[in-house]
Amino acid sequence: MHCLLNFLLRLLSILSHSSPASYLLFVVRFLNGVGVGLAGSGSGTGVGVVDMFDVGLPANARLANLSSRGFIGTGDGILIGGFFAGPQTAAVTGVVFRAIGPSLSNFGVPQPMQDPTIEIHNSNGDVIASNDDWQSTQKSEIEAVGLAPSDSRESAILMRNFDPGPYTAIVRGKNNTVGVGLVEIYDVQQ
């Protein structure tokens, strides 16, 4: 029997209009899980944050992946995804981080990022891993867990055995290119 992940959803709105009417949060329940979305009300734009928390450790109930799609510009116009490695699971957690761009065109996404790069930062802000073009490092390991990006220009990193604490994935365009990208974080069972 599928065990639905219990979670607490907290929304911090940093939209250009901070009133609740300026954003739309929607939760969709699928057969095998839950999806959450955030959109500007009407044609509103801005920056928003959606946080999901695993509030317990019931058997076979772990958050499987997080992803976010957005326009990636230059300078501070980056795409950010993150997770917190808890003290009870950090030492046995494996994670694949991916920066997807070119393959988004296969799904009709306009202006896909043509060459995304990814950096992983620890709680001190230090870069602890980075990748440009996933096949340049860890190709066989990423293929073995079944999470190889479909385009060689996309980026991916496999990391295992974290220290407890927060981690951040930052996606940018190589050589300051711009476009729509996707940051993904997958839990890889060890």
Architecture of domain 64-190: Sandwich (2.60)
In the chain, the N- to C-terminal Cα span, in Å, equals 22
Q: Quick one: tokens of 181?
A: 């990208």
Report the predicted TM-score, pTM, of the whole model to 2 decimal places: 0.74
Highest mean pLDDT among 55-64, 92-101, 136-145, 163-172: 136-145
State residue 124 phi and psi, 5-degree precision: -85, -5
Quick one: how far is CA 30 from the chain centroid?
A: 19
3-class state of residue 63 by DSSP: coil
Q: According to CATH, where is 2.60.120.380 located in the chain?
A: 64-190
pLDDT at 157: 96
State residue 111 phi and psi, 5-degree precision: 50, 50
Whether the pLDDT of residue 147 is over 70: the answer is yes
DSSP character string of 134-168? GGGSSHHHHHHTT---SSTTSEEEEEESPPSEEEE
Q: For 4-31, how does the pLDDT look when each residue is reduced to its tens digit (9 = 90+)?
A: 222 322 333 333 334 444 444 444 444 4
Q: What is the mean pLDDT of the chain?
A: 75
